Structure 1
Amino acid sequence: MTSPESALPPAGAPAGGPASASRPAGVPARAAAVLAVVAAALVAAFVIAPGPLAAAGSGGDLDGLRGSFAEYWAAGDRDLSPSLRRSVDYWLDYHLAKGAIAAALLVVLAALGVRLGRVYLRPGTLTAGRRAAVAGAAGFVTLLALFALVVVMANIQGAVAPFASLLPMLPGGVLAQPRQQLAGALHAGGDVSPALQAMIDDFGRYHVTMAVVASTVAAGFAALTVALWRRCRRTPRDDRRARRVWVALGAAAALVSLATLAVAVANTTVAADPAPALLAFFEGGW
């Protein structure tokens, strides 16, 4: 006959038996699955939604961009023509939509990455094969999150200076006269029209924006690097798996910080004197 004491679970075992033992693993798995579905939906929205959202918000499009720019250049005024303004407003709304979706995707991927990391570091819950699969998934999510971060940065830049961001959409022949005028101004000391000066100013603003954004991101990743190295130092030496994770993440954060700092320096240099860089862009060298 079984004694009442023998029916109790061993010390440290879940009180609810096998059903309770599976619950801690099942809840994170469901949460990760939901986050993965949301991330996939946001990726689809990033591809499909910005164009229709921008058209609905601005009432414009890029169909007549070439003619609108030619009209603007012929007038020579600093203020954008009504038709070009509609295209620029469309491009602004396009960047806002893309940036918002990419920011939401970044948040979801960060949450998913944290959950995968916790599963990977939890002792004794995974086989070696499953742990390797979780590590691979976490690495993929991290790379996708970094891509989303770059997209957010680029779309902030495009939203702040949509006119400059729109210039690459123009065919080279349309920019021949601005290129000639700017080359003459830089090499022979000629004047520039108000329209060209507006392009130079917005091009400078375009790079100032990225310099500020990249500097902010570099500072954030530098702080994250310090936090991760401190976390590694506080981790017991016998927990080699966790220490490897913190070291790898700290090294990656340091590399991202240095890369974004280099981007900030490069954009600061261009912003200080945007005209030569704009000419290089007109000539196809930027």
Structure 2
Amino acid sequence: MRPPRVPGRALAVLTLALAAAFVVAPGFLAGIGPGSAFTGEHDLVEALRTSFTGYWSSGDRDLSPTLEGVVDYWFRYHLAKAAIAALLLIVLVALGVRVWKTFAKADGLGTGKNVALASTGVLITMLALFSLVAVMANLQGMVAPYASMLPMLTADAPDAQLTGTLDQIKLQLANSLDTDGHTAPALQLMTDDFARYHVAMAVIATIAAAALIALSALLWRRFTQTERSARRTRRVLSSFGALSALLSLAGIVVAVANITTATDPTPALLAFFQNSW
């Protein structure tokens, strides 16, 4: 039994609702549960910086309870973002398939309607690609939420105490490149999570690339099986087959770059703190 067909207007409304939820809902959802809740980005950044300087000065490897609460919040934030982005991607794919099928069969429509259909299809495709990237990035943040928060430490102008802490990190990272690689426990934890952050993206990008290669092969097979008289259908199939192949190559490049960084994370982490990464 085939599932009921969802009206295109309902898919469009659902797309708008999910897009709005992607922006406004994660902060609220992340505040549900144990740990800290924050009123906004500024509050989160201040809490991270204050707890991080205290944690670093303690010399312990394990995160302090305060910093762990901030990191747990950030994990839940990425979890909510990834879930909403995944739902948005599914809806956009369904909507995009419907629009492009309509375009492929719309030989009798006027130029204006054809242009409108094609423009709508391109827009939906671009939004779907954005959603895919959002899913990938937020899955990466879920795997290594501590490392994904590091840019908040260096953004804008840190206070004097945090500046001193960052200087210590850069000095220890630079020294570890010239010695046997031994680092303080807190820095070792940061380096390990930074490596995990890049391993996560390497795995995610590899899976995405494999899926895109399979999709490209399927589309090209459909292209060869489609009658030459169905020129619009063949054009749509070949365009998306080529796009999927190009995106798979991009995924492979991303995977290789992240594997390289994960294999030797210290230079990349030092470059990040020196604002040259």
Question: Normalising by the residue count of structure 1, what TM-score does the alignment of the two structures yield?
Answer: 0.87
Question: Per-residue CA shift, 1:129-159, capped at 9, x if unaligned?
Answer: 2122111101110010000000000000000
**One-letter amino acid of the structure 1 residue matched with residue 70 of structure 2:** S
* 1:161 shift after superposition: 0.2
237-246 or 149-158, larger mean C-alpha shift: 237-246
Q: Distance in 2 between matches of 1:58 and 1:267?
A: 32
Task: List per-residue Cα deviations over 1:98-137 (Å, max 9, x = no partner).
Answer: 1111011000100100111221122556333212211110
In structure 2, the residue matched to 1:208 is 199
Partners of 2:30 and 2:76 within 8 A in 1: yes
Who wins on radius of gyration, i.e. which is larger? 1
Is 1:97 the equivalent of 2:80? yes
For 1:135, the equivalent position in structure 2 comes to: 118
Paired position in structure 2 for 1:175: 166
The residue type equivalent to 2:197 in the other structure is Y
- Residue of structure 1 aligned with 2:21, choices 42, 45, 52: 45
Where does 1:49-128 land on structure 2 (aligned, <5 Å)? 49-60=25-36, 61=38, 62=44, 63-124=46-107, 126-128=109-111
Q: Distance in 2 between matches of 1:156 and 1:124?
A: 42
User: In percent, how many aligned pairs have the same letter?
Assistant: 54
1:276 aligns with 267
Q: Is the Cα contact below 8 Å between 2:201 and 2:258 reproduced in 1?
A: yes
Q: Distance in 1 between matches of 2:139 and 2:253?
A: 18
Q: Choose from 134, 137, 146 the match for 1:151.
A: 134
Q: Supply the AA of the counterpart residue of 1:181.
A: Q
Could you tell me which amino acid in structure 2 is paired with residue 204 of structure 1?
A
Partner of 1:249: 240
Alignment: residue pair count: 259
Q: Is the 8 A contact 1:50 1:98 kept in 2?
A: yes
Contact 1:103–1:149 (CA<8 Å) still a contact in 2? yes
- Work out whether residues 58 and 93 of structure 1, in 8 Å CA contact, stay in contact via their aligned partners in 2: no
What is the one-letter code of the residue matched to 1:91? W
TM-score, normalization by structure 2? 0.89
Structure 2 counterpart of 1:95, which letter?
H
Counterpart CA distance in 1 for 2:272 and 2:34 is: 28
Aligned counterparts of 1:76 and 1:283: Cα–Cα separation in 2: 22
Aligned to 1:34: 10
C-alpha distance in structure 2 between counterparts of 1:51 and 1:218, whole Å: 30
Aligned residue for 1:3? none
Deviation for aligned residue 1:188: 4.1
AA paired with 1:67?
A: T
Uncovered stretches (5+) of structure 1, i.e. residues with no partner: 1-26
Q: Does 1:196 align with 2:187?
A: yes
Note the aligned Cα RMSD (angstroms).
1.7
Residues 11-26 of structure 1: matches in 2 within 5 Å? none
With a CA cutoff of 8 Å and minimum separation of 6, indicate the structure with the bigger relative contact order.
Answer: 2
> Hey, what's the Cα distance between the residues in 2 that align with 1:283 and 1:187?
17
AA matched with 2:274: E
Distance (whole Å) between structure 2 residues aligned to residue 125 and residue 59 of structure 1: 59
Deviation sequence 1:215-262 (CA, Å, 0-9, x none) = 000011011111111111111112111111111111111110000110
Contact 2:220 2:237 survives alignment (8 Å):
yes
Question: Could you tell me which of 216, 227, 239 is aligned with 2:230?
Answer: 239
AA of the residue aligned to 1:136: S
Q: Deviations over 1:177-222 (max 9, x none)?
A: 1111111111244631110000000000000000000000001101
Aligned mates of 1:161, 1:234 — CA distance in 2: 44
